[in-house]
Amino acid sequence: MTGFPILSLMLLVPLLGALACLFLEAKAARTVALLATLVDLVLGIALWMNFDVGGAQWQFTERLNIFSGFSYALGIDGIALLLIMLSVFLMPICIGASRSIEKRVGEYMAAFLLVEVFMLGVFMAQDMYLFYMFFEAGLIPMYLIIGIWGGADRIYASYKFFLYTLLGSVLMLVAMLWMVHTAGTSDIPTLMAYDFDPHVQTWLWLAFFASFAVKMPMWPVHTWLPAAHVQAPTGGSVILAGVLLKMGGYGFIRFSLPMFPEASVYFGPLVWGLSMAAVVITSLIALVQSDMKKLIAYSSVAHMAIVTIGLFAFNVQGLEGSMLVMLSHGLVAGALFLCVGVIYDRLHTREISRYGGLAINMPRYAVFFLLFTMASIGLPGTSGFVGEFLSLGGIYQVSTWTALICTTGIILGAAYMLYLYRRVVFGEQKNADAAAMPDLDARELAMVIPLALAALWMGVYPESFIAPMRADIAALDARLARAKPAGDSAPTPGKAKPAHEEAAAHGGSH
């Protein structure tokens, strides 16, 4: 694999597929889009197989200097590898979930494949400007997907999504220009090791935070997300929850923490406060929703708050936990939106009250929905448990109060997810239309089975996912060590007896 431009190929395949889809009629466009995403999945698996765990930090690197100060530079570490795998895994499922799209199918598939190009580009970019171009360009096809193929309020939702995320990123661009001017390079690995003046770090951190906090999204700049999710078509919701939200977390790991360690620690309490608020407030809001998609959208904000406390715990446990929560949430939230899409396609309503008793006529659906509900709650043995446990364990070492309040989110999470499940799947069949719905067909099973297996694999054997990123997380932890705050959970020094006194006391008591 050495020297083979596999990363460029992974960007080229969906790009060519997108161009082809624009000129094809509906059936052919669906086939081309599915083939393009499956080819990328195969390339992703080849990337995973050939990734040298414990080898060089940056692998599969490619560099082409385009002009002074800007180069087409790609490369991945273990963290990027996992997020790329999540992206290529979810894309064929999104194309499969787009059966209900009937108008402008070619353009829809092209927009989706462009989303894939830009998503993968964000995780592969090794040049600051290239990262920014991919990061921003991804807004455009997603804006079109929501605005053209979305629900009744799609125009409002797509504008809100676009303006929120764009305005957040303008400050980041200004900060990037200053950083490149000061450090004399736009190379991301070099900048990750560059020591910026701690006073300036504060401003740079805030500029990046403006962008990543909106993208995550963090409370209180999360209000674009429920609107975007509710209006987006099923495939759009899956990829929005599955991968696009992870770009904010990836940004924190790749930029904010390693480039501005002192500022990250200084603003740590701010992030904890916002995360605590997010977990409690959005969970309570989720509890009273009558629209299924809105409920899962609010639960996404609460889950991403567990990611931010893990990232800002400044220890290996928290950082690994936050990455696992991101991967798990990508699978599970995507699967839950898929489950909503399945019954929406049959009954054309997302109102929870219109359903009930689906276990009777859709037993297969009920089983998969239960598995994803449990994974969302964080049941041991599912993907949700491992990451949440590590994130909360990580933050406990730094701030016991934050850990305590964020743990209530797991209890509230169980409340709103089980309440949703009970109303949709159990109970009496009040609605004759819902009682007549057919169970999952072969196409739908082909979409939910891989997600179910991945969620279980991650819950039972998380080492497969921790191993590739272990060295990168350790390097990030070492970078943060110089600014790391003292935790409030450690025993106070001076209280423990010296060892010889302890031994004498024990000896005297015998």
Residue reference for tokens 């309440």: 419
**Eight-state DSSP code of residue 76:** E
Residue 101, pLDDT above cutoff 80: no
Q: Which two tokens stand for residue 186?
A: 């736009």
Continuous segment of H or E residues that includes residue 509: helix 499-509
**Per-position DSSP letters for 374-436, written without gaps between them:** HHHHT-TTSHHHHHHHHHHHHHHHH-HHHHHHHHHHHHHHHHHHHHHHHHHHSS----HHHHT
Q: How far apart are CA 178 and CA 198, in angstroms?
A: 15
pLDDT given at position 453: 92
Instruction: Quote the percentage of the chain above a pLDDT of 70.
Output: 94
Residue by residue, what is the 3-state secondary structure of 18-69? HHHHHCCCHHHHHHHHHHHHHHHHHHHHHHHHHCCCCCCCCEEEEEEEEECC
Q: What is the crossing angle of helices 292-311 and 383-398, to 10°?
A: 40
Q: Mean of the pLDDT values across residues 236-248?
A: 84
H or E element at residue 71: strand 70-76
- State residue 472's pLDDT score: 86
> Is residue 510 over pLDDT 50?
no
pLDDT band at 300 (very low <50, low <70, confident <90, very high): confident
Q: Is the pLDDT of residue 60 over 60?
A: yes
Q: Is the pLDDT of residue 236 over 50?
A: yes
- Find the mean pLDDT for residues 200-220: 86
Residues 319, 476 contacting (CB under 8 angstroms) = yes
Which tens digit of pLDDT belongs to each residue from 373-393? Answer: 999 888 888 888 888 888 888
Are the C-beta atoms of 417 and 376 separated by less than 8 Å?
A: yes
Report the relative pairing of strands 59-67 and 70-76 from DSSP bridges: antiparallel
| DSSP class per residue in 204-241 | HHHHHHHHHHHHTTPTTS-THHHHHHHHS-HHHHHHII
Separation in Å, CA 502 to CA 490, 492, 495, 509, 510: 20, 17, 12, 11, 13
Residue 74 host element (H or E) = strand 70-76
- The kind and range of the H/E element at 75 are strand 70-76
Are 279 and 409 spatial neighbours (Cβ–Cβ below 8 Å)? yes
> 421 vs 75, 332, 366, CA distance in Å?
42, 15, 9
pLDDT at 131 over 60: yes
Q: How far is residue 156's CA from residue 378's CA, in Å, rounded to a whole number?
A: 34
Tens-digit pLDDT profile for residues 384-427: 888 888 888 888 888 888 888 888 888 888 898 888 888 888 87
Average pLDDT rounded to a whole number, residues 474-489: 76
Distance CA 381, CA 460 (A): 5
Q: What are phi and psi of 73, to 5 degrees?
A: -120, 125
Range with the poorest average pLDDT among 28-37, 85-94, 354-363: 354-363
**Over the chain, what is the mean pLDDT?**
84
Full-model pTM: 0.86
d(CA 356, CA 430): 7
Please check the confidence at residue 502 and state whether its pLDDT lies above 60. no
Q: What pLDDT score does 509 carry? A: 45
314 by DSSP, 3-state: which?
coil
**163-204 pLDDT, tens per residue?**
887 787 888 888 888 888 888 888 888 888 888 888 888 888
Cβ neighbours, 10 Å, residue 449:
12
CA–CA separation, 324 vs 373, rounded Å?
Answer: 17
Which residue type is seen at 473? I
Burial of 393: CB neighbours in 10 Å, binned 0-12, 13-18, 19+: middle
| Tokens representing residue 159 in the block | 């504008």
Going by the DSSP 8-state scheme, the letter that residue 5 receives in this structure is: -
- List, for residues 448-458, the tens digit of each pLDDT value: 899 999 989 98
User: For residue 500, what pLDDT band results from cuts at 50, 70 and 90?
Assistant: low
Per-residue model confidence (pLDDT) at position 508: 47
Q: What is the pLDDT of residue 493?
A: 52
Contact 362, 445 (CB under 8 A): no
Residue percentage of the chain with pLDDT more than 90: 6
> To 10 degrees, what angle do helices 400-425 and 292-311 make?
160
Contacts of 261 (CB under 8 A, 6+ apart): 201, 479, 480, 482, 483
Kindly write down the DSSP assignment for every residue of 131-157, as one continuous string: HHHHHHHTHHHHHHHHHHHS-TTHHHH
Q: What is the pLDDT of residue 492?
A: 54
CA atoms of 154 and 175, how far apart (whole Å): 33
